Chains A and B, each alone.
Chain A
Amino acid sequence: MAQHVVPPKIYFAVFTALIVLTATTTAISFLDLGPWNTVVALGIAFVKATLVALFFMHVKYSPPLTRIVVAGGLFWLAILLALTLSDFLTRGWVPILR
């Protein structure tokens, strides 16, 4: 939070991790891992986004109310994705509905 000044050392460590992860995800995209390509790429993106939110955006140092709002936003996003995809991704499962 504002009164908690994050030392640059932490910023540089997070920055290094983000660059390494970017190089990793691009390198891995050249390997054929089948469906795991998507899983690994999104997993790395998720780790990178979490690092940015926790440290660059100070969520780690924020009061509980801010953290609840962040978690709430992600929860609504999860509802948006999960409910819609529970329709679209399962349409082939019951042949009669096609």
Chain B
Amino acid sequence: MEQQRDASSLGMWVFLVTEILFFGGLFLAYTVYRSEYARAFAEASRHLDITLGTFNTAVLIVSSLTMALAVFSAATGRRRALLVFLIATMVLGGVFLGVKAVEYGHKFHDHLVPGPHFRFPGPYARQAEIFYSLYFAMTGLHAAHMIIGIGILTVLVLQARKGRYGPAYYTPVEVSGLYWHFVDIVWIFLFPLLYLIGRHIH
């Protein structure tokens, strides 16, 4: 049994390694373009809402805590607590996506979405458009992972309601937790790179 559990976690980690490299490509593209167009990227990043960004970072951290507590509840046979923490994690994931949707809405309103309607004051419009292409690609891919995570949590909640998980068997909760925390880590890097580090480059 112990070997089975270790093997499941290992399998999830192998998948997460492919995810590290998947996101790694985007982080690499961001780094290359930012080193080339530092000023444009700084100007473009100042149009992001740092308050909403910080709030969302905190929301994801709380959701990671509730996910970790869900794994603990499953491992110690606290079935009610398991359900509560799984649902709390889902709700927090939903809050994150809601705030993200509001931010995307602002970008559409301000003509900061790459495409024929993109408008950016000053001489760096084309380069700022690259920043926003990367912004939407990176946060969009991250949001897609969040939506998949909420889907996985839905399955966990349905199974947990049937009492499928307890100290003897909670591998799906443990492994889904790894995925959820990984998506949190991606945001931990996206947040400073997109929102924070360009604030004083002129």
Task: Please give the residue numbers on chain A whose beta carbons come within 8 Å of chain B beta carbons, in ascending order.
Answer: 1-3, 5-8, 11-12, 15, 18-19, 22-23, 25-26, 29-30, 32-34, 37-38, 41-42, 44-45, 48-49, 52-53, 55-58, 62-63, 65-66, 69-70, 72-74, 76-77, 80-81, 84-85, 88-89
Chain B, interface size category, equals: 35 or more
Given contacts A6-B72, A69-B17, contact A56 B64 (CB under 8 A): yes
Query: Residues of A contacting B58 with CB < 8 Å?
Result: 19, 22
Report whether B196 and A26 are in contact in the complex, using a CB–CB cutoff of 8 Å.
Answer: yes
Given contacts A2-B6, A3-B5, contact A37 B199 (CB under 8 A): yes
The distance from the CB of B2 to the nearest CB of chain A, in whole angstroms, is 6
Query: Residues of A contacting B28 with CB < 8 Å?
Result: 80-81, 84-85
Q: Which residues of B, 115-148, contact A by the 8 Å Cβ criterion?
A: none
Q: Which residue of A lies closest to B179 (CB)?
A: A57
Interface of B is mostly: helix
The distance from the CB of B79 to the nearest CB of chain A, in whole angstroms, is 15
Given contacts A2-B9, A81-B24, contact A34 B200 (CB under 8 A): yes
Report, nearest first, the 7 A-B pairs whose CB atoms are least far apart.
A73-B17, A2-B5, A41-B192, A29-B196, A32-B200, A15-B65, A5-B75
Q: Can you list 12 A-B contacts (CB < 8 A)?
A: A7-B72, A15-B64, A29-B195, A29-B197, A30-B199, A56-B67, A57-B177, A57-B178, A57-B182, A69-B17, A77-B21, A81-B31
Report whether A62 and B197 are in contact in the complex, using a CB–CB cutoff of 8 Å.
Answer: no
Q: Is B25 an interface residue (CB 8 A)?
A: yes
Q: Which residue of A lies closest to B17 (CB)?
A: A73
Report whether A11 and B188 are in contact in the complex, using a CB–CB cutoff of 8 Å.
Answer: no
The distance from the CB of B115 to the nearest CB of chain A, in whole angstroms, is 26
C-alpha spacing A10/B9, complex, angstroms: 20
